[in-house]
Structure 1
Amino acid sequence: MAKFRTKARAVDHLGQGQIADLPTAICELWKNGYDAYAENLSCDLFQEGYKGLDSPIFTLSDDGTGMSEEDLLGKWIVLGTDSKVRGPQALSEEERLGKAPRIPLGEKGIGRLSVAYLGSPMLMLTKQKDKRCQMLFIDWRILSNFNLYLEDLDIPIRSLSRSVSLEDSLQELIDDFRANLALDIWQEHRSLNRAIKQALKSITLPDFLTTDYLSSFFEKEYHGTTFIIFDPHPQLLELSIEGAWSDKTDETVKYLRSSLNGITNAFKGEQQLFQATFNIHSDTGSYDLISKSLFFTREDMFAADHWLTGQFNEDGEFKGRLQVFNQNFEVFFRPNRPPGPTPYGPLKIEFGFIEGDPKNSKLKREHFDLLARKGMNFGGMYVYRDGFRVLPYGRTEYDFLEFEERRSRSATYYQFSHRRLFGYIEISRENNPNLIDKAGREGFIANKADRDFRKDLKDFFIDLAVRYFRTVNEGETPTAREQQVFDIKAKNAQSLAAEKKKSKQTITKFKRELKEYSEDIDKLSLSTNGLYKQLSTEVKKPKIVFSEAECLVEEIQRNKALIKRLRLSNPSRIILTESLKARYSEYRTNFIAAIELVDKCDVLIGELQSRFSQENLEAEFTRRLKSYQSDLTTTLNRYKKRIEKSLDPILDKIKSDINDISGAFAFDTGKLALPNSNDDVDYGLLLKNLDVLYQAFEKQLEKKANLW
């Protein structure tokens, strides 16, 4: 009877060949870490030059359950295992590291092969708690030999022993792997054979890696898995700290950031089951490419100009709450489809949306700019299944709901923009089984569930735009956005005019003070320099006349006080002309020189006073005490007048803000009032919306208080 035989390159097709791109490969391995109950998932790229590295090294790690030798032999190197499909009930509490059961994210049993995409050769270290660490080595390039059958390939595995170093254990594994290169099947792949052999000669573990990152594998209590890639994927080598820090971030960094940020649903604001990092290490420092501070928060979503929260039921009907600027609405939407359950199932949706022009936004300019920057890097609708992001949804270039295509036909009608909208669609393996990942993990299979999912969501956003956001024709009833945007634009214009007026007043005052202070500094510096020369002469005298010295010190102290009053700061939020910058720089140089001169005088005064009698020192103390008291009183009175002069408009602004906030809260809560009809009322949704409304006003009040 005939039997199937499998060429080794089939593994290559199932691994690299089935993975869409580098971020997808990383996500697949992180999913495996999540399924292994890890709390920390990390990638680390150690660049050439870091702690003496001759060539880059890449690692991917998790602190999950790890694997035993039996797991490696019976699961990891067995393709298509069903251990995850059996579900979380198959694991005991001890195997789950004491954590609550998690819904497995992987189910095909080939996600582990994603590691081949990261580069080659590869060393894997994996350890279960209270068990010895297991090491596995492979150079994935060997799979390119189409004469090699899987049963002919020997993958070396060893248990780590304290009596043998990590480096020695690695070299033993490499020696075992070399046996695969001695087979008589390499005649047609001699150049590949030579390349692999040459690469194996140079593989070594750097000291910092074994000491700082891998030493835990010797500890009894430790558990987890680490992959070490000795020749990382070319796309990884394009990354750099300089590129990540730059304002003009390169496309590789942008692509990885938009793909790996938000790997868990930060929009929900809940405590995450795990933390993910992607650190780049170079001789100039370290940088986390996907720091949480870069991504959106739940507060961002509900601080936007407009936001929506609600759910689609199993029949595709949406019910939820929409806020357009400062107005709240109960929203109901029924898709144009036959009655009955949808093929895609129920789902939750929440998003925020900002205006395209800051003049039309209710947000302060700084806040608007922050959300706009985040939108440029991470804007879009994300999809999360059981809390884990589904790629490529959410990538800035992947507009799967075709917002920009509709805007190209009419931006004023369709309104929503892919990069100005940020939020999520939540699905689950249990409720949405027909939304199935493609083999390459680049989105859902294009079945009926996926087609209806997209169509109904597109229709939903069109319906929202038509009812609440579009610009209507003359004579039509304006939408909620149109009703408010005129007032918001007028208010922003008024604020801008006031800001410009204030800026003009500030710059006028700054110019005047800069001129006066510069002239006074020159005069006082000249005077103080003369006093310094006199003081130098006085100190050198064999006998000091106290009355003369006292007058000299008093004049210097007076100049010192006057100079310190001439400190002039660059006004904030004002852009100086090049001419003003030059004049201010000259002033700063002269001011610092004057301060240094009085400091030199203080040194000589100290020498002079050391020769005063006790009686003279007492007199000097009394004189200086009165002088300081008088100076402080004068300064306080000057500040008092300045504060009183500026306090009236501030108090008026506070009164106005209090009235505005109080009135707006009463207005918005009035819209939450229960309807008078006999329809069922969703009290849970009303309470949730009331909480959200209160929190938004509370944050607004805190910001106002900080400004006050």
Structure 2
Amino acid sequence: MANFKARARAIDMLGRQQIAGIPSAISELFKNAHDAYADKVEVDYYRSDGLFVLRDDGLGMTYHDFENRWLTIGTESKMVNRRGISAPPHAADKAIRPILGEKGIGRLAIAAIGSQVLILTRAKRGEALSDLVVAYIHWRLFELPGIDLNEIEIPIRTFKDGHLPSYSDISEMVDSFAKNIDKLRYLDDEEITRFKLEFDQMRLSADEIDSYVPDMSLGGDGHGTHFLIRPANEILESDIDSSTFTRASSLEKALLGFSNVMTPDHEKPVIQTAFRDHKRIDDVIDIIDERGFFSPTEFRNADHHFSGQFNEYGQFDGEVSVYQEGAREYKIPWAGSKGKKTQCGPFKINIAYIQGKSQTSTIPTEEYNLLSNKTNRLGGLYIYKSGIRILPYGDTDYDWLEIEKRRTFKANRYYFSHRQMFGAVEIDLIKNSELSEKAGREGFRENKAYREFRDILKNMLVRFAADFFVEDGVYSGYFGEVDHLIPWQIDHLINWRPVVENASRSDSKLVNKSYNYS
């Protein structure tokens, strides 16, 4: 008889090598904070020290939780009450949150952010606070051959009564982990020197760093989980600096809109996020401030709106508003169901769309210019599972519904542009369980459910365009030609009610024609 064995390199393969990049790794840690019932999860990147700190104010972990869940690969987070497995804790004063980080990618993907991490976590269970649990890991050890997973020893220490580890406490833990180096048979002097230099960078005072953001402290009555990563991957700084007025960085694209805060029915996020870039002591900016994302007001002010739900057969039932005119009921069939329920399940959608030119928009010019720039940077159709964003959907560079591809064939028929659209597709962890993510968080698996999901949405956009924005569309009236209107005609269109009262006979026909769809 024989058993499977795992090399330490399996951790690197399942984590750093699987994750799409640093933004995806941070998003996974945000999801973990959501699952821990945190109200806030915040990142502070201190450039001068190369220090990356992620804090949440969630329920935290006990020593038992850390050892048996965080340090255990393949935990059965959904298989509760079986074989002695208990359910993850939840906050009694909050609504039950679906578990989004069940694959365990987040903790292993930390290695993409930086080569070593100090984990500090303090649990709150009811009104009771546990001891602070602290652990240290150097991820690069898991990249090397010649060592089995069970040979690597992770130092874990506990601190009572809200006390935080000092410089000497952390140095002792680093020295303890460094003994793992002695087990490596193929490590040359250059590698050993590199490890020692990196070990020295993690000799710091957690007490001092904790004091930088007092309202997220783990001391006193504080609770939650903190990750201190140093040195942070140099790619992080390059990514932050790649952001421009006209183009969002990959970090912004991945982390802005983590919770659905753009549609009017989701104005309060489930969890608040922040990423503060400390370029200098007096130069700090939150690069994922909610104001950088689409707001409910901007959503309401857009030219056109499409909202409703798709049932279990893929049929759309909702409302459409064109040029801010009152919403009308609208239905779309989907032939692909063939009378059978879809595997993707029912879901909701809410889309806002702006015209390609300010002259043809209902939005005042100054507001239009700001919103148009934002859609160029962040426009797209986002997917939210139980209120939390699924990557990479919504990224302007990821046209997952092939909207621009169709426009290259015939722009006047397919009308919509990926970068002039923003909105949300809302799915549910239970109802849409067949829409499952890839291990590396690069979208959904290409199964039948996802193919149905995409086909349903593609069909919707083609029908919307054909019915409302093509010259011979069922509800088009005047809209098929709206891009060719001159400014005074746009004024008539936008302010059609007062115009009708005083208009000439020909002007009245113009205005009435534009609203034949209602």
| Structure 1 and Structure 2 fold alike (TM over 0.5) | yes
Q: Secondary structure at the match of 1:58?
A: strand
Q: Secondary structure at the match of 1:132?
A: strand
Contact between 1:125 and 1:135, CA under 8 Å: does it hold in 2? yes
Equivalent in the alignment of 1:316? 314
In the alignment, is residue 77 of structure 1 matched against residue 61 of structure 2? no
- Aligned residue among 59, 70, 85 for 2:53: 59
Where does structure 2 lack aligned partners over 5 or more consecutive residues?
503-507
Contact between 2:302 and 2:353, CA under 8 Å: does it hold in 1? yes
Hey, what's the Cα distance between the residues in 2 that align with 1:422 and 1:460? 15
Equivalent in the alignment of 1:193? 192
Equivalent in the alignment of 1:282? 279
Name the amino acid aligned to 1:376: N
Q: Secondary structure at the match of 2:419?
A: coil
Instruction: Report the CA distance shift for 1:57/1:435 in structure 2 as closer, same or farther (over 3 A).
Output: same
Instruction: Report the CA distance shift for 1:76/1:397 in structure 2 as closer, same or farther (over 3 A).
Output: same
Equivalent in the alignment of 2:253? 258
Hey, what's the Cα distance between the residues in 2 that align with 1:364 and 1:259? 30
Task: Map residues 447-458 of structure 1 onto 2, 5 A cutoff.
Answer: 447-458=447-458
Per the TM alignment, residue 311 of structure 1 is displaced from its structure 2 partner at its CA by 0.6
Contact between 2:90 and 2:96, CA under 8 Å: does it hold in 1? no
Q: Secondary structure at the match of 1:192?
A: helix
Instruction: Report the CA distance shift for 1:112/1:243 in structure 2 as closer, same or farther (over 3 A).
Output: closer
Hey, what's the Cα distance between the residues in 1 that align with 2:20 and 2:165? 37
Equivalent in the alignment of 2:380? 380
Instruction: Report the CA distance shift for 1:433/1:484 in structure 2 as closer, same or farther (over 3 A).
Output: same
In the alignment, is residue 305 of structure 1 matched against residue 303 of structure 2? yes
Hey, what's the Cα distance between the residues in 1 that align with 2:214 and 2:134? 12
Q: Secondary structure at the match of 2:17?
A: helix
Per the TM alignment, residue 182 of structure 1 is displaced from its structure 2 partner at its CA by 1.7
**Residue-by-residue CA offset, 1:71-127 (whole Å, 9 max, x unaligned):** 11111100011134539x9669x8515222111112223432121211122111111
Instruction: Report the CA distance shift for 1:37/1:328 in structure 2 as closer, same or farther (over 3 A).
Output: closer
**Residue-by-residue CA offset, 1:543-570 (whole Å, 9 max, x unaligned):** xxxxxxxxxxxxxxxxxxxxxxxxxxxx
Hey, what's the Cα distance between the residues in 1 that align with 2:292 and 2:215? 32
- Aligned residue among 250, 260, 270 for 1:273: 270
Instruction: Report the CA distance shift for 1:368/1:212 in structure 2 as closer, same or farther (over 3 A).
Output: same
Instruction: Report the CA distance shift for 1:247/1:374 in structure 2 as closer, same or farther (over 3 A).
Output: closer
Hey, what's the Cα distance between the residues in 2 that align with 1:30 and 1:423? 21
- Report which stretch shifted further, 102-111 or 161-170: 161-170
Hey, what's the Cα distance between the residues in 1 that align with 2:350 and 2:72? 40
Contact between 1:359 and 1:492, CA under 8 Å: does it hold in 2? yes
**Residue-by-residue CA offset, 1:518-540 (whole Å, 9 max, x unaligned):** xxxxxxxxxxxxxxxxxxxxxxx
**Residue-by-residue CA offset, 1:428-453 (whole Å, 9 max, x unaligned):** 11111111101111100001111111
Hey, what's the Cα distance between the residues in 1 that align with 2:33 and 2:12? 22
Name the amino acid aligned to 1:276: T
- Aligned residue among 106, 117, 123 for 2:112: 117
Equivalent in the alignment of 1:339? 339
Contact between 2:383 and 2:426, CA under 8 Å: does it hold in 1? yes
Hey, what's the Cα distance between the residues in 2 that align with 1:112 and 1:95? 19
Equivalent in the alignment of 2:152? 153
In the alignment, is residue 433 of structure 1 matched against residue 427 of structure 2? no
Q: Secondary structure at the match of 1:45?
A: strand
Instruction: Report the CA distance shift for 1:31/1:658 in structure 2 as closer, same or farther (over 3 A).
Output: farther
Equivalent in the alignment of 1:223? 223
Instruction: Report the CA distance shift for 1:210/1:452 in structure 2 as closer, same or farther (over 3 A).
Output: closer
CA RMSD of aligned residues (A): 3.1
- Of structures 1 and 2, the larger Rg is shown by 1
Per the TM alignment, residue 657 of structure 1 is displaced from its structure 2 partner at its CA by 9.2
Equivalent in the alignment of 1:358? 358
User: Which structure dedicates a bigger proportion of its chain to strand?
Assistant: 2
Equivalent in the alignment of 1:527? none
Task: Map residues 124-139 of structure 1 onto 2, 5 A cutoff.
Answer: 124-129=119-124, 130-139=129-138
Contact between 1:7 and 1:149, CA under 8 Å: does it hold in 2? yes
Hey, what's the Cα distance between the residues in 2 that align with 1:421 and 1:448? 26
Name the amino acid aligned to 2:64: E
Contact between 2:258 and 2:389, CA under 8 Å: does it hold in 1? yes
Name the amino acid aligned to 1:273: V
Hey, what's the Cα distance between the residues in 1 that align with 2:68 and 2:38? 21
Q: Secondary structure at the match of 1:413?
A: helix
Equivalent in the alignment of 2:505? none
Task: Map residues 439-588 of structure 1 onto 2, 5 A cutoff.
Answer: 439-472=439-472, 479-482=477-480, 489-492=487-490
Contact between 2:77 and 2:87, CA under 8 Å: does it hold in 1? no
Hey, what's the Cα distance between the residues in 2 that align with 1:477 and 1:492? 19
Q: Normalising to structure 1: TM-score of the pair?
A: 0.65
Hey, what's the Cα distance between the residues in 2 that align with 1:446 and 1:100? 32
Hey, what's the Cα distance between the residues in 1 that align with 2:74 and 2:429? 19
Name the amino acid aligned to 1:254: S
Instruction: Report the CA distance shift for 1:302/1:20 in structure 2 as closer, same or farther (over 3 A).
Output: same
Hey, what's the Cα distance between the residues in 1 that align with 2:475 and 2:261? 38
Name the amino acid aligned to 1:222: G
Instruction: Report the CA distance shift for 1:254/1:657 in structure 2 as closer, same or farther (over 3 A).
Output: farther
Where does structure 1 lack aligned partners over 5 or more consecutive residues?
49-54, 496-652, 674-708
Aligned residues: 492
Instruction: Report the CA distance shift for 1:13/1:243 in structure 2 as closer, same or farther (over 3 A).
Output: closer
Q: Secondary structure at the match of 1:86?
A: coil
Per the TM alignment, residue 214 of structure 1 is displaced from its structure 2 partner at its CA by 7.5
Contact between 1:80 and 1:110, CA under 8 Å: does it hold in 2? no
In the alignment, is residue 106 of structure 1 matched against residue 104 of structure 2? no
**More contact order relative to length (CA 8 Å, sep ≥ 6):** 2
Equivalent in the alignment of 1:42? 42
Instruction: Report the CA distance shift for 1:370/1:216 in structure 2 as closer, same or farther (over 3 A).
Output: closer
Per the TM alignment, residue 265 of structure 1 is displaced from its structure 2 partner at its CA by 0.7
Instruction: Report the CA distance shift for 1:180/1:488 in structure 2 as closer, same or farther (over 3 A).
Output: same
Per the TM alignment, residue 360 of structure 1 is displaced from its structure 2 partner at its CA by 1.3
Instruction: Report the CA distance shift for 1:65/1:327 in structure 2 as closer, same or farther (over 3 A).
Output: closer
Instruction: Report the CA distance shift for 1:188/1:170 in structure 2 as closer, same or farther (over 3 A).
Output: closer
